[in-house]
Amino acid sequence: MKRVGVIGDPVEHSLSPHMHNAAFGELGIDAFYELWPTPLPGLGDRVASLRLPDVLGANVTVPHKQAVMPFLDRVTETAQRIGAVNTVIPSPEGLIGDNTDAHGFQRSIEETFGPVQIDSAVVLGAGGASRAAIVALRMMGVENIDIANRTDARAAALAQEFAAEMIPWSEVVAESFPDAELLINATSLGWHDEMPVLMDDLKRLPHRAIVVDLTYRETPLLRAAADCGRRGLDGLGMLVHQGARAFELWTGMQAPVGIMQESVRAEQARRG
């Protein structure tokens, strides 16, 4: 039996074992996805263990997405742009570090809304999740990207790196919302039922605007967007599609996305 796992600290909450084991079962692949909790001092040994012949690959999560890089033989351009590795693929040339989050973001939008032409987007937040979203927006050909963050300086640094525009947090609603076809909440607000902006602020968005919250469930922001007649999308599809991409890199087989999505929803429902 082959093994795959997620390297992080902690990893117990991860939904990945559920979706990947469902996918292995569906395709009859003799492999199992494990939890690999790894404190930082053990990271080098853990990555070295991925070179064993029974290992199909790995995911990497918080807090090791950057720290893992020096232990790998190659880091893809996408992972370098995002500045984080979430997937490791053993190959004849050694261990390759990739990042499938931007792909997952793009596929999730396309799957939900079909091919969309977006010229202007606003990203709230300037952490790791924002970086993946911004790389995805660039892959999608979005021309104008405004970035706003509670700490303006972090938004400014990101804006400079990705040739985007920094908008002061206090001005983003008035400044950016009227032209935004896509609003992405990549702040950590939403996990605990807070809103990054007010409900009335959402009314400043064009009617055709899409509101994306990277949290894996319906948030107050998405409920407010629906109440204002704007389309919304949570981060669950992105989670599934980043996993599907990783699955394909490990197995060379097309991922059963529907089964993966179902298993994640079932596990979420079970957890309540």
CA 206 to CA 26: how far, in whole Å? 42
Treating both helix axes as pointing N-terminal to C-terminal, what angle do 257-271 and 16-27 enclose, rounded to 10 degrees? 140
Dig out the tokens for 44 from the structure. Answer: 């080098």
Q: Which is nearer to ligand ATR, 125 or 256 (CB)?
A: 125
Beta bridge partners of 123: 147, 184
Residue nearest to ligand ATR (CB): 127
Q: Where are the alpha helices (DSSP H) in the chain?
A: 16-27, 43-49, 77-82, 101-113, 128-139, 152-161, 172-176, 199-202, 220-227, 236-251, 257-271
The backbone torsions φ and ψ at residue 167, rounded to the nearest 5 degrees and listed phi first, read -115, 130
Q: Which is nearer to ligand ATR, 150 or 231 (CB)?
A: 150
CA 64 to CA 120: how far, in whole Å? 32
Dig out the tokens for 63 from the structure. Answer: 């807090």
Q: Which is nearer to ligand ATR, 42 or 83 (CB)?
A: 83
Q: What angle do CA 54, 88, 35 make, to 5 degrees?
A: 65
Answer left, alpha or beta for residue 94, where phi above 0 means left and psi between -120 and 50 means alpha.
left
Beta bridge partners of 144: 120
Q: Which is nearer to ligand ATR, 23 or 102 (CB)?
A: 102
Please, what is the minimum distance in Å from the beta carbon of residue 8 to ligand ATR? 13
Report the interface residues with ligand ATR, using CB under 6 A: 125-130, 149-151, 154, 186-189
- State the DSSP code for 219: -
CA 197 to CA 87: how far, in whole Å? 33
Q: Which is nearer to ligand ATR, 50 or 189 (CB)?
A: 189
Please, what is the minimum distance in Å from the beta carbon of residue 148 to ligand ATR? 9
Three-state DSSP class for residue 103: helix
Give catalytic residues, as residue numbers: 65
Please, what is the minimum distance in Å from the beta carbon of residue 88 to ligand ATR? 19
Please, what is the minimum distance in Å from the beta carbon of residue 183 to ligand ATR? 14
Q: Which is nearer to ligand ATR, 235 or 256 (CB)?
A: 235
Please, what is the minimum distance in Å from the beta carbon of residue 41 to ligand ATR? 22
Please, what is the minimum distance in Å from the beta carbon of residue 64 to ligand ATR? 13
